[in-house]
Amino acid sequence: MDSLRKTFRYIVRNPLGFFGVVVLLFFILLAIFAPLLTPYDPLDTQYVKGQLARSQPPNRLFWFGTTHFGRDVLSQVIIGSRVALIVGFTAAFFLTFIGTNVGLISGYYGGKLDSLLMRLTDVSFGIPFIPFAMVLIAVLGPSIWNIILTISLLMWRTTARVIRSQVLSIKERPFITAARVSGASNLRIMYVYILPNVLPMSFLYISLGIAWATLTEASLSFLGFGDPRMISWGQMLYYAFISGSTRHAWWNVLPPGICITLFVISAYMVGQTYEQVVNPRLRARG
C-alpha cells in the first residue's frame, strides 16, 4: 500500500503525469454522471420553431451545435465517454491479463511450451489488426463486447514478450532456487514469488492498453463496425463523414476528435510517467 502511495505521489508530482491523471479523472467523472449532464437525449432529433435543427452551428440552445440528423453534439460527446471508458479499461485489463499469463508460463517453463507460446505470439504479430477486427466483427456482429473481444485476442502479444523476458531473468535468482528447494510447487513459484516482481510492468501495459483500446474502438467505429446501439466518439466521426458534415460542419468533427486525442494522450502520459517508476534509469536520464 505504501508503494502504491509513493507511485501515485510521483506521478502527480510529474507535470505530464499530473496532466494525464487530471484528464482521465475528468473523463471518468463525465462518464459516471453522463445521464445527469446531457442537456438532451443524444439519440433524439431536435426541432427549433417546428423545423428540424439540422447541422446548426454552436448557439445558446445547442452549445456544440447539432448533427446532420438534428441531434445535439454536446449530449453525444458526453454519453460517448462511457464507451471510451468501458472499452479502454475492460480491453486493457484482458489484454494485460492474457499477456502477463502467457509471458509468465512461457518464461518459467521454457522448452517446447515456451517455443509453442512464442510461435503463437509471432503469428499474432503477423496478423494485421484492422482487417482481422473487421472480419471477426462482421462474423460475430457489431457490438461493443465483440470489439473488446477482438482487442483482447490480438493485442496481448507485446505484453507477453516483455513479461517473458523479465521472467527469464527472475527465475534464475537465488530466492526462486530457495523456494524450489523448500518444495514450493510451480504454480506457487510463478504466482507468489515471480508474479509480484513483474506486476509493475503489467500495470504499465494496462495504462498503455487503455490508449490502444480507445484508439482501436474509435477506428473501428469510424469504419462503420461500431455498436449501432451505443454512441461513441468514433461513431460520431463516422456519421459526420457519411453525411458529408466534415466539409461544412466542423462542430460535428472537432469535439469528438479532441476528446479522443485528449483521452489517448492522457493515458500515454500516465503510462510514460509510470514507466519512470518501473525503470529508474529513465528517471535519472530525465
Looking at residue 199, its pLDDT comes to: 85
For domain 26-285, the CATH class is mainly alpha
Identify the pLDDT of residue 2.
57
**DSSP E strand boundaries for the chain:** 47-48, 51-52
pLDDT of residue 133: 86
Give, in order, the Cα–Cα distances in Å from 183 to each of 107, 123, 172, 189: 20, 36, 16, 10
Regions of the chain where pLDDT drops below 50: none
Gap between the Cα atoms of 105 and 117, Å rounded: 9
DSSP codes, 180-197: HHTT--HHHIIIIIIHHH
Contact 207, 274 (CB under 8 A): yes
Beta bridge partners of 51: 48
Predicted pLDDT of residue 128 = 87
CB 58 within 8 A of CB 121: no
Looking at residue 4, its pLDDT comes to: 63
What's the confidence (pLDDT) of residue 29?
A: 95
